[in-house]
Copies of this chain bind each other. A is one copy, B any other.
Amino acid sequence: MPSEYRAAFANSLSGFKPANLIGTVNSRGQTNLAIMTSVVHLGSHPPLFMLIVRPGGEDRHTLRNIIETGTYTINHVNAEIIENAHQTAASYHAYESEFAKTGLIEEWLGNFSAPFVKQAKIKMAMQLREHKELSINKTHMVIGEATLIIVPDGSQYENGAVNIVEAGSVAISGLDSYHDPRLIMRLAYAVPDQPPRHLD
């Protein structure tokens, strides 16, 4: 298989992925924004999320900024900003900010040092907790703790989960496909030898 074909194939095999914009800034105030599909929930007490960052390409500015400042933001891509978000993957020069280039607006909240995306409805301020290069293929594991979490008013289910469909969050498959996930069903906590119970 040719290399690009193989990459598109492998990227589609894990299933649907979250669409997040990672906002960072370097020590000279230059901002950066990058779309990533590798955010994974790692724990809830405290809220920890892992991010896998590739060593080359556009991602390297994001990684360098996270290590330099110890902070970053995670912003959900919603249906209104798909094209802007995708465009952040273009190879801009280090002195150019993807914010200025893509129409996504920098938002600075409180005294947090990294920029949020104004158009995002769900966003988190992240403090770097651990960074490690994985020897197996030189990708980088970045673990952060959410220290500020912003979700739309009234968007939480009774159990605490955010209704991310209502917030317009999208999913990605492969490298280029954006999806609008309709709710099929919600199921109660599974119990042995009892049939699955639907939630309203």
Contacts and interface: CB of A to CB of B under 8 A. Distances in A.
Interface stretch (A24-32, A47-55, A61-69, A109-117): A47-55
Looking at A20, A82, A137, the one whose CB has the most chain B CB atoms below 10 A away is A137
A13 B191 CA distance: 25
A170 B141 CA distance: 26
A180 interface: yes
B179 A183 contact: yes
A16 B159 contact: no
A51 to B, nearest CB: 10
Contact of A171 (B1, B8, B171, B199): B171
B183 A182 contact: no
B18 A124 contact: no
B191 A187 contact: no
Contact of A181 (B50, B130, B179): B179
A187 B162 CA distance: 28
11 contacts: A7-B44, A12-B162, A13-B49, A14-B39, A15-B169, A16-B16, A86-B190, A89-B189, A90-B194, A165-B179, A180-B181
A92 B52 CA distance: 33
A88 B91 CA distance: 43
B82 A146 contact: no
Contact of A45 (B6, B12, B122, B164): B6
